[in-house]
Amino acid sequence: MNQQIRRYYEFSHFRIDIRERVLLRDGRPVPLTPKLFDTLLVLIEHRQTIVTRDELLKHLWPDSFVEEGNLTQNVSMLRKLLGENPELHQYIETIPRRGYKFIAEVKEVTEVNEVTEPPLPTPANLPPSDPGLHSLSMLSGQQPGVAVSTGRSGRGKMILALLGLAVLAVSLLGYAAYKGVNSREPGATTPQVNRLTYNGKATRVAISPDGRYVVQAIIDGGQQSLWLRQVATASEIEIVPPANVSYISVTFSTDGQFVYFVRGYQNGPSDGSFSDRGTLYRMSMLGKWEKRLISNVDGHITLSPDGQSLAYIRQTFNQGKSALMIAKLDGTDERELAVRKFPDNFLPGAVAWSPDGRIIACATNNFTAADPYRGIVAISAADGMERPLGVKHWYGSPRRLAWLGDGSGLLVLSPEYSRAPNQIWRLDYPGNGARRLISDLSDYTDLSLAVTAGSLAVVRADRVVNLWVAPSEDVARARAITSGTGREDGIRGLTWTPDNRLVYRSMAGEMPQIWISNADGSSPKQLTSDGNEHFDPALTPDGQSIIWSSSAAGHRNIWRMNLDGSNPRQVTAGVNEWYPEYTQDGKWLVYVTMTHSLARMPATGGESVRLTNGLSWRPTLSPDSQWIAFNRLDEASGQWMIAVMPIDGGGVLKIFDIPSPSIFRAIRWTPDGKSIAYPVSTDNATNIWCQPLDGSPPRRLTDFSQQIIFDFAWSRDGARLALSRGIVNSDVVIIGNIR
């Protein structure tokens, strides 16, 4: 029996397990990146003393030069994860012009555990049908399960002893093999994860085929630039200067000498569901001789393995057409290889050419009345014939695809379900197996595979989103009322009850659920808990019931329940319906249908009526029940504008030229019903603007200098504003041992 000594630090509701490098809050792990954990540990080990900025920089980044802004951002995220009050720091104090001090009371705990050595395996406790036992029994001339006589001579006893040792050795080998095989899924590897950058500003990434270089797009001050980085030495140079553009995708040529990139509009990349339209360019790896190749490229491109051709998706909305295009490497000889019609379109971000050059894998929408989902198909590069690739239904939209070098499968960047964090999956080919390569709380937003090196470069976004409440007349006094990590409070759902409580969407485990709490965050209660997806909550006009979008019936439908979560019942029976909202006069229910159009039905039930023909999303109803504002896709630009139409569906009245790359942009009517409010993000901060309905110039309502706003809602009396608000740090991570 051995003694194992474990050391811990404890403060407030937290415990730090030094050996396991884990931070626990009330016994539950808090997701910290290695740098954040190191930052916290240094501050605690030097608690009640000032740790200078230089000391922290030298400790955290000993072999590289980084700006102090990286340290500031690191401490800011750590404070959010600890749940600090932004106006009253109870854990980490900033000492102006010097550094930081950990000020909370810390207790050191030492635990001594008695560790008993496990007994050696014996034939009696080995797994059934162990191959080692069977082989040895045949060698000894005995049948399995038949005892060997002990009535032997000394020589015989020695042989038996040797046989016994052999039994033990082979049994141990068999047991180890059994445990090794059964502790991992078939074909699983042990990825090696190393963080490459710490600036928190990466948006796109590409890794060279040999794994030696990475090109990343970063955003800073509202502008984007391209940087080339050597993986081994961490040295980097800027190869394309900052500009008011967005890099939609970045790709190395097959020989690693050139970089291809799709560059588009200023406002940033969208989620890849519909259109990431831009222009394709090629330049040398060091940033010279930039050449324009093809316009109207939607999303990512993929290169043929012989380096002679490229493929990409082009969406033609005015024709309702989505095409997989092929062209020569210089952009000439464009042609359609395969065509789909909306809503069964190709997804622009997910396209990958197989290593043998025979097929191109594409992600698709598959909208049928029986079973709507996103799938992955294999399209013949010779004739465009299409067949399914695997049987997994991707209910979130796959963002990126990458073939493994031996063609035995693909890496798929996709959420498990709609609006969940993007995770990295391995999809077998041929075959139907699909499993996560890495499973954590992070959101992976881009992916690039170095086939030769077996290294994967990804952009990993660590985000912490909580609810904030502010008085409408002084939004600068906004205070965080939740402090959870991994919950993403308020994303896809935030509204007020008449008695000024908040109803919102939050994560519980791995599924989004509906919660309710007081306006100060107290008395939180989870209202749904059946293991299905629940989001987009809204209130009935009397404030006594909640309507929301749920997958409880197998498809996403509109449901209704009492304010305490009781009596849930299905309201609509279509296939995939989202964003429900009642008119304040109680006459109509408006929502989004499977075809991404708006529909209206009587609040008491009955037949629904289609209101829009173009792609429409996120409806919000005016306080006087006369108007609907919504995000509408502009077919010419591929941007989402804000449109206003009468509740009776008499055609679009106004379209405001307020572009957004994202279908999920939050929009709300102001309490007086005279303007439409929406978020605008610049320089890592989001503020709310409002556009008056009379067409006068928009004006800014908030003046935040940091954090992103994901959703917002005014209380019914207009006195308070609730915000779903948080921080996102995106960095490049290298994952090795990918085979």
Instruction: List, for residues 192-245, the tens digit of each pLDDT value.
Output: 788 898 888 899 999 999 999 999 999 887 789 999 999 988 788 999 999 989
| Residues 3-43 pLDDT 10s | 567 789 999 889 998 887 888 888 777 767 777 888 999 99
Q: Quote the DSSP letter at residue 318.
A: G
Q: What is the pTM of this model?
A: 0.69
DSSP assignment string, 361-430: EEEEEE--SS--EEEEEEEETTT--EEE--S--BSSPP-EEEE-TTSSEEEEEEESSTTSPEEEEEEESS
Domain 2-113 has CATH 3.40.50.720: no
- Quick one: pLDDT at residue 396? 73
Q: Give the best-scoring range by mean pLDDT among 157-161, 218-222, 454-458, 613-617.
A: 454-458
| 487 or 338, which is more confident | 338
Structure tokens belonging to residue 67:
């700006």
Q: 2.120.10.30, 3.40.50.2020, 3.30.70.100, 3.30.1540.20: which CATH number matches 470-731?
A: 2.120.10.30
| 270 or 397, which is more confident | 397
Structure tokens belonging to residue 479:
């205070």
Q: Give the best-scoring range by mean pLDDT among 108-112, 268-272, 381-385.
A: 381-385
Instruction: For residues 648 and 666, give the distance between their C-alpha atoms in angstroms, rounded to a whole number.
Output: 23
pLDDT at residue 288 is higher than 80: no
pLDDT at residue 138 is higher than 50: no
- Provide the pLDDT confidence category of residue 132 given band limits of 50, 70 and 90: very low
Please give the CATH topology (third level) of the domain spanning 192-453: Neuraminidase (2.120.10)
- Quick one: pLDDT at residue 649? 82
| 512 or 142, which is more confident | 512
- Provide the pLDDT confidence category of residue 160 given band limits of 50, 70 and 90: very low
User: Scanning the structure block, which residue is given the tokens 């040999």?
Assistant: 210
- Provide the pLDDT confidence category of residue 540 given band limits of 50, 70 and 90: very high
Please give the average per-residue pLDDT across 383-398, as a whole number. 85
Sequence spans of domains, the chain: 2-113, 192-453, 470-731
- Quick one: pLDDT at residue 558? 96
Instruction: For residues 390 and 378, give the distance between their C-alpha atoms in angstroms, rounded to a whole number.
Output: 9
- Provide the pLDDT confidence category of residue 114 given band limits of 50, 70 and 90: low
pLDDT at residue 97 is higher than 90: no
Structure tokens belonging to residue 580:
């429900």
Instruction: For residues 571 and 644, give the distance between their C-alpha atoms in angstroms, rounded to a whole number.
Output: 26
Please give the average per-residue pLDDT across 719-726, as a whole number. 96
- Quick one: pLDDT at residue 149? 32
pLDDT at residue 275 is higher than 70: no
**Do 470-731 and 192-453 have the same topology in CATH?**
yes
| Residues 652-682 pLDDT 10s | 889 998 988 778 899 999 999 999 999 998 7
**What average pLDDT is seen over the chain?**
82
- Provide the pLDDT confidence category of residue 167 given band limits of 50, 70 and 90: very low
Beta bridge partners, 9, equal 16, 108
CA atoms within 13 A on the CB side of 677: 21
pLDDT at residue 93 is higher than 60: yes
For the chain, the residue count is 739
- Quick one: pLDDT at residue 553? 79
| 442 or 383, which is more confident | 383
Q: Which of 26-30, 246-250, 260-264, 266-270 has the lowest mean pLDDT?
A: 266-270
| Residues 323-382 pLDDT 10s | 999 999 999 999 999 999 887 889 998 999 999 999 999 999 876 544 556 889 999 999
Sequence-distant (6+) residues with CB within 8 A of 567 are 561
Beta bridge partners, 207, equal 214
- Quick one: pLDDT at residue 274? 54
- Provide the pLDDT confidence category of residue 709 given band limits of 50, 70 and 90: very high
Q: Cβ–Cβ contacts within 10 Å for residue 39, how many?
A: 23
pLDDT at residue 140 is higher than 50: no
* Phi-psi category of residue 580: left, alpha or beta, with phi > 0 → left and psi -120 to 50 → alpha: beta
